[in-house]
Structure 1
Amino acid sequence: MTVTASQVKELRETTGAGMMDCKAALTEAKGDMEKAVDILRKRGSATLQKKAGRVANEGIIDAYIHAGGKLGVILEVNCETDFVARNKDFKNFVHDLAMHIAAANPLWISRDEISPEVITKERDIYKEQALNEGKPEKVIDKIVEGKLEKFYERTCLLDQPFVKNQEITIKNYLGELVGKIGENIVIRRFDRYLLGEEE
């Protein structure tokens, strides 16, 4: 099947991916726009894995202050080159991220940062809840794992659905940007401040 220039243009505008990547994805998806978007997303995640080992010591620090000045976020995101640090897409990503953190209040960037003690405690709570609800012994482990996934979704930045597009997680959004820019991008650290909140 032939992929038209207008299809490539539409997919490019939707995803921000390169022209050749869009054409290849559309060809693979036999012209189905939704499938082509999924293909590009998966490739973005694959690119993210490939680039993850490269050193990222450039980047920017950004801040987001919510209307009324009672909630604010300061955030550092790193990339490999100063050129990318000045890139509009990169800057937009960092600002979106700061706004997302203000709204979604993650506790950690990724699951790797959570101490084993916290995970053990959560598992114990979920197991106790399932037993108290009279759930059969054979399904308790599955219930605990499901609740643990929800816990990651609530508390880990990379697992959270992006506030501006609930269809994707922050990890998907990061993967798409890495695929588009071609550099390793690392969310280094953030702080979220709520007026009057205790440290």
Structure 2
Amino acid sequence: MANFTAADVKKLRELTGVGMMDCKKALDEADGNVDKAVELLRVKGQKGVAKREGRSAENGAVVSLIADDHTSGVLVELKCETDFVAKGEKFQAVAGAIAAHVAATSPADLAALLASEIEAGKTVQAYVDEANANLGEKIVLDRFAQFTGGYVAAYMHRTMPDLPPQVGVLVQLDKENAEVAKDVAQHIAAFAPKYLNRDEVPAETVENERRVAEATSREEGKPEAALPKIIEGRVNGFFKDIVVLEQAFAKDNKKSVQKVLDEAGVALERFTRIKVGV
């Protein structure tokens, strides 16, 4: 079996716009060589491969779908090449249909989503490929999120008034509080935290930050006796940058996000933030 990684499959998809399974087959035939796989797909006559080769799909939209009772919600990122296509009704209709399909079927992961039938006899991957042909641009679906349980809400941010949302945030609280859910989701959209709490931060990430803090402190000539306290302070500052519960709240920087949640009597159970192309 050819030696290639998921990153190779993703790269081939981005280069050609061809479906994931076809990319895997091409990489198998090409012994894992991406360039050879592109040639194989072109020889086999995959629609638009030659035209899409090398194009970048960094525009697009994030769409959300929240259940009426807020017990579940979906975010889907659909990418295209230009903002002209992104703002079009047809492109946004495709994104909306995929979001509705995710909400209805709860796929386990991206591969399951792409392989599932969105219409009779048509997979999501075929549906995206059809959008490629109809819109004349590379259309890429490679991220989605779905939350169920608790109180789920979304905040969608437009970077330009005439474009669809480019940033989407999904949050799940342990109980209903629409105002706090919206405020926290807006905060996450603005400050882009990576983790919910310290426990989620990988141990190797923390240790690396600790090493950097120590090296920096020594380079600055800090007293040896003071190093432990200085290093700990810098590591705590690192947590405040990347952990949402420890960040200063966007609407009142004298309070942490955790403090705002505590005052409201709710807990943030999880969140996700998707920005187009990032």
TM-score over 0.5 for the alignment? yes
Match status 1:63 vs 2:155? yes
Match status 1:194 vs 2:275? yes
Contact 1:79 1:186 in 2 (8 A): yes
What TM-score, normalized to structure 1?
Answer: 0.59
- Number of residue pairs aligned between Structure 1 and Structure 2: 127
Shift of 1:192: 1.8
Map of 1:110 onto structure 2? 197
Following the alignment from structure 1 to structure 2, what is the Cα–Cα distance between the partners of residues 108 and 63? 18
Map of 2:174 onto structure 1? 79
Shift of 1:138: 0.8
Structure possessing the higher relative contact order (Cα contacts under 8 Å, 6 or more residues apart) = 1
Shift of 1:176: 0.4
Q: 238, 241, 247: which one pairs with 1:154?
A: 241
Query: Quick one: which amino acid aligns to residue 213 of structure 2?
Result: Y
Q: 162, 179, 183: which one pairs with 1:96?
A: 183
Within a 5 Å distance, the mapping from 1:7-46 to structure 2 comes to none
Query: Quick one: which amino acid aligns to residue 139 of structure 1?
Result: A
Following the alignment from structure 1 to structure 2, what is the Cα–Cα distance between the partners of residues 152 and 95? 23
Shift of 1:70: 5.5
**3-state SS of 1:62 partner:** strand
Query: Quick one: which amino acid aligns to residue 71 of structure 1?
Result: Q
Shift of 1:136: 1.4
Within a 5 Å distance, the mapping from 1:172-191 to structure 2 comes to 172-178=259-265, 185-191=266-272
Shift of 1:155: 0.7
**3-state SS of 1:135 partner:** coil
Map of 1:51 onto structure 2? none
Which structure has the bigger radius of gyration? 2
Contact 2:241 2:247 in 1 (8 A): yes
Following the alignment from structure 2 to structure 1, what is the Cα–Cα distance between the partners of residues 223 and 171? 46
Contact 2:169 2:189 in 1 (8 A): no
What TM-score, normalized to structure 2?
Answer: 0.43
Shift of 1:159: 0.3
**3-state SS of 1:196 partner:** coil
Map of 1:144 onto structure 2? 231
Contact 2:173 2:270 in 1 (8 A): no
Q: CA-atom RMSD, angstroms?
A: 1.7
Shift of 1:169: 0.6
Query: Quick one: which amino acid aligns to residue 143 of structure 1?
Result: I
Flag structure 2 segments of 5+ consecutive residues without an equivalent: 1-148
Following the alignment from structure 1 to structure 2, what is the Cα–Cα distance between the partners of residues 167 and 66? 27
Match status 1:120 vs 2:207? yes
CA 62–70 in structure 1, closer or farther in 2 if over 3 Å, else same: closer
Following the alignment from structure 2 to structure 1, what is the Cα–Cα distance between the partners of residues 241 and 201? 13
Map of 1:31 onto structure 2? none
Structure (1 or 2) with the greater strand fraction: 2
Query: Quick one: which amino acid aligns to residue 115 of structure 1?
Result: P
